[in-house]
Amino acid sequence: MSATTTTKLPKDFIWGFATASFQIEGATDVDGRGKSIWDDFSKIPGKTLDGRDGDVATDSYNRWREDLDLLTQYGVKSYRFSLSWSRIIPLGGRNDPVNEAGIKFYSDLIDALLERGITPFVTLYHWDLPQALHDRYLGWLNKEEIVQDYVRYARVCFERFGDRVKHWLTMNEPWCISILGYGRGVFAPGRSSDRLRSTEGDSSREPWIAGHSVILAHAYAAKAYREEFKEKQGGQIGITLNGDWAMPYDDSPANIEAAQHALDVAIGWFADPIYLGSYPAFMKQMLGDRLPEFTPEELAVVKGSSEFYGMNTYTTNLCKAGGDDEFQGHVEYTFTRPDGTQLGEQAHCAWLQDYAPGFRDLLNYLYKRYRKPIYVTENGFAVKDENTMPLEQALKDDARVHYYAGVTDALLNAVNEDGVDVRAYFGWSLLDNFEWADGYVTRFGVTYVDYDTQKRYPKDSGKFLSKWFKEHIPES
């Protein structure tokens, strides 16, 4: 850890924690909420690791004041959370009624945050599509319908919350929406041509169609915001993409190229059209006519549609050319270096190891390529076996503290030494919560949740981040 304590972040640097509606709220059938695609999907045997669903989650629909107490206790400046589309428009569509109880829930939450001096960062879509839209026209697979329905939903949110919300994120992690939901079939709606996962879908085409719709829905919602709300409300709008750093396995030209291909599919698929105006050449070459095309009018709306770069990142993958996995750009990922050593500490989930230098490299890559201010909207670690350890041990989450110590140091260096314009950092997550296909087995929280009692217990990592940001953001 090389940073000295005199090195600081800018005084208006924003930090906080992030959550998502379906992962924390529970209360899936109260106050007029419609079903989301995760409601039933999480109940299908085999879809979650522990066979548990999201009906209760961390019960934050009822306990949100307690969650805000935690935020205050950690001293955050901001809280990133998502709105449940099906609480706001239970049937989802552009002609369907708005549910005032859903509006009131989020309105009260926003007011309470502001009263505490905490700035809301609001994600409009974090994977919980209204079930009715899937039933009507297959959701993200139907570009014409979904774009109009999403834009209407976004407009309702701008109208009802935009007087108080100044930071909007249209979508969370389009790669996950498209690939995990319509390619691998491991996330709702579970479409994949792989018969082991689902008997529906065409994974050679559907993920790319879904991704295309997500980009357009984002872009047209951002257009509506800019044309109808921005001037009066004075906020910002952008998108959040997932993407881990890709490092060549060794210095062979094939593996150096493979690392770029991995970035092209994981990040460039969305970031290139949005910030640069076209899909990556490699994706066009890999997919041919299976990659949808934008019309010139659409492209004019897509290009420049995000005012900042929302970055969710967790790890670094060593990349080797080869394999037939298009979802990773025909690249094989490993954490084992050529000399047999591991890149870093293994997390509970297979896809994550602790490797902080990659965080700094990724910030530099994104800033150089896309030239936008960066908001780190998610970053975090799931400690191995935390779900089965005694509470006292789980609260001393040294591996997560190590992870956060590494990335905060990398953040400081990226800002101060490399000149990357990073403006915000959100740890994932405020609480342990419903970790999608992992059920409640994988815990990402800086706060432990005892799912029998719903009691919350701050972990050492939460205290670490709280102290670190206090020390590194000058008081204004």
From the list 96-104, 117-125, 416-424, 428-436, the region that binds ligand NCW by CB under 6 A is 428-436
Distance CA 8, CA 104 (A): 39
Judge whether 469 and 3 are in contact, CB under 8 Å. Answer: no
Q: How far apart are CA 27 and CA 86, in angstroms?
A: 12
Q: Does 20 bind ligand NCW (CB under 6 A)?
A: yes
| Least distance CB 24 / ligand NCW (angstroms) | 10
Q: Which is nearer to ligand NCW, 163 or 438 (CB)?
A: 438
Q: With CB under 6 A as the contact rule, which of the stretches 84-92, 169-177, 383-391, 463-471 interacts with ligand NCW?
A: 169-177
Nearer CB in complex with ligand NCW: 206/432: 432
Q: What does DSSP assign to residue 317?
A: E
* Binder among 336, 342, 351, 385 for ligand NCW (CB under 6 A): 351
Among 80, 435, 440, 465, binds ligand NCW (CB under 6 A): 435
Site string for ligand NCW, 235-264 (x = CB under 6 A): -------x----------------------
Total of residues contacting ligand NCW (CB under 6 A)? 13
Residue of 106, 308, 428, 464 interacting with ligand NCW (CB under 6 A): 428
Nearer to ligand NCW (CB atom), residue 196 or residue 231: 196
Task: Please identify, using beta-carbon distances, which residue of 153 and 428 lies nearer to ligand NCW.
Answer: 428
Member of 129, 176, 287, 395 binding ligand NCW (CB under 6 A): 176
Q: Tell me if residue 378 is catalytic.
A: yes
CB of 431 to ligand NCW, least distance (A): 11
Which CB, 160 or 456, lies closer to ligand NCW? 456
> Taking the alpha carbons of 321, 323, 324, 326 in that order, is the dihedral positive or negative?
negative
Residue 82's beta-bridge partner residues?
Answer: 123
- Closest contact distance (angstroms) between CB of 301 and ligand NCW is 25
Binding mask 105-144 for ligand NCW (x = CB under 6 A): ----------------------------------------
Shortest Cβ contact with ligand NCW: which residue? 351
Q: What minimum distance in Å lies between the beta carbon of 57 and ligand NCW?
A: 12
Q: Is 469 in the site for ligand NCW (CB under 6 A)?
A: no
- Evaluate the CA torsion angle 431, 433, 436, 438 in order and state its sign: positive
Between the CA of residue 338 and those of 249, 252, 295, 334, what are the distances in Å? 7, 12, 45, 10
36 part of the interface to ligand NCW, by CB under 6 A: no
Binding characters for ligand NCW, 193-232, by CB under 6 A (x = yes):
----------------------------------------
Taking the complex as a whole, the smallest distance from the CB of residue 176 to ligand NCW amounts, in Å, to: 5
| C-beta closer to ligand NCW: residue 33 or 80 | 80
Distance CA(387)–CA(290), nearest Å, equals 41
Residues 6+ apart with CB under 8 A from 191: 181, 182, 183, 185, 198, 200, 201, 203, 206
Beta bridge partners of 342: 336
CA distance 225 to 438: 35
Token look-up 């850890």 returns: 1
Question: What does the H/E/C string look like for 134-163?
Answer: HHHHCHHHCHHHHHHHHHHHHHHHHHHHCC
Beta-ladder partners of 242: 312
Of 405, 406, 420, 400, nearest to 13 by C-alpha is: 420
Token pair belonging to 38: 């995760």
- Asked if 384 and 399 touch (Cβ cutoff 8 Å), the reply is yes
Figure out which of the listed residues 78, 312, 316, 387 binds ligand NCW, where binding follows CB under 6 A.
312
Which of 173, 298, 307, 326 is the catalytic position?
A: 173
Of 23 and 58, the one with the shorter C-beta distance to ligand NCW is 23
Nearer to ligand NCW, 307 or 435 (CB): 435
Which two tokens mark 97?
């009624």
**Helix, strand, coil abundance in the chain, percent, nearest 5:** 45, 15, 40
Question: Is 206 a known active-site residue?
Answer: no
Report d(CA 133, CA 213) in Å as an integer.
Answer: 14
The residues carrying an active-site annotation are 173, 378
Summarize as ranges the residues that interact with ligand NCW (CB under 6 A): 20, 23, 172-173, 176, 242, 312, 351, 378, 428, 435-436, 444
